[in-house]
Each structure stands twice: as C-alpha cells, then as structure tokens.
Structure 1
C-alpha cells in the first residue's frame, strides 16, 4: 500500500501488487480487520470464494463502485456479473491508454 492511500472501503477497486495475481484488479467485498480484506473479481475469484489479501499487498484506487457498494450494504451479496461489470467499467474509463495484451508496469497507478 502506498503512503497516499487511506483506509479501505467496501466496493473499492484495488490493484494487486504482490502475489500470483500481480497487476490484476479486484474489488473489496469485505474488510476482515485493519490488515486484511476479502477481494473478488467475478471471474477467477467469485463472490462465494473471495481472496483474503493483506493491505500491504494491494494498491487502493480512489474509485468505489456505487453499484457494488450499495448491493453489498443492502443485501450482503453481489452478483459476479456486477463485479465484472464494475471492473470493466473502471478499466475502460480510467485506463484507456492500455492496449489489449499490455501489462501494467510497477510505476502505473490506479487513479
């Protein structure tokens, strides 16, 4: 986690910076404690089997998906399709300069 990040929020988009999924994006679906969050992307990591991740191993983006957040806060659940939609919307709106097949380098930020 970089020094400009604040506390994590449900529905917030993150970029994984450590581990097997390095460079991929996911959404916070639950906050376990001050160090750990549960992540899902609706594709590899479904809502029913989220990834437990240390906050030091992710980069918090400023964007919080209102659809995912409201669904999780109202019902406690979110569909995998909604997770995929929120991530693709974020990537299309904020990371347009990435071409298909390009990888994120270590210097690129979420926001």
Structure 2
C-alpha cells in the first residue's frame, strides 16, 4: 500500500477504530505517524501500522506543502482539513 504525507486515513484496529486521521510522517514501509489535531495532537502523534489503516484517496495539499517546506503544522490545520474532508464526503453521499 502506498501512503503519502497529508493523506486522510481511517483506523481499522485498536481503541481508535473508525476515527479519522492525517498521516504526518512516514517512518518506514510498515509504520506511519498519524494525528487528528484533537486527541492525537501534532506534538504527540500516534505510531500506527499501515495495515491497520483504511487508506483514502484524499490528500490535503496544504498539509503536504507545509511538511515539504518545513513549516510547522498546527493542530488547527489538521482539524480544519479533516472537517473539510468530512463535509465533502457528506455532500457526496
């Protein structure tokens, strides 16, 4: 499974099952760090196995630009992008 920074994912295993996150760092081929800007903040991201995630096709360009430019991502940025993702999926249904 190919994952990229700024990609929206859902957890499919663990206590956070069903919650939505954004990939903030790729550790290796098996692990990533994910954050939701609320319970899992940017300062303390969750280390998660990729196989325990449902990968979506949605990639947040603002988050990707900030990460690639070494600009600090804020928890508000994460929350805002996840809210936009949720709202766009509600309209599509």
| Structure 2 length-normalised TM | 0.94
**More helix per residue:** 2
Q: Match for residue 80 of structure 1?
A: 75
Answering whether residue 46 of structure 2 is matched by residue 44 of structure 1, we say no
| Structure 1 length-normalised TM | 0.79
1-structure distance, mates of 2:92, 2:71 = 34
Moved over 6 A (4+): none
The count of residues paired between Structure 1 and Structure 2 equals 93
Structure 1 stretches lacking a partner, 5+ long: 1-5, 99-111
Name whichever of 76-85 and 49-58 sits farther off: 76-85
Q: Match for residue 55 of structure 1?
A: 50
1-structure distance, mates of 2:25, 2:10 = 16
1-structure distance, mates of 2:4, 2:30 = 13
Answering whether residue 62 of structure 2 is matched by residue 70 of structure 1, we say no
1-structure distance, mates of 2:57, 2:66 = 19
For the pair shown, the structure with the greater C-alpha radius of gyration is 1
Superposition RMSD in Å: 1.5
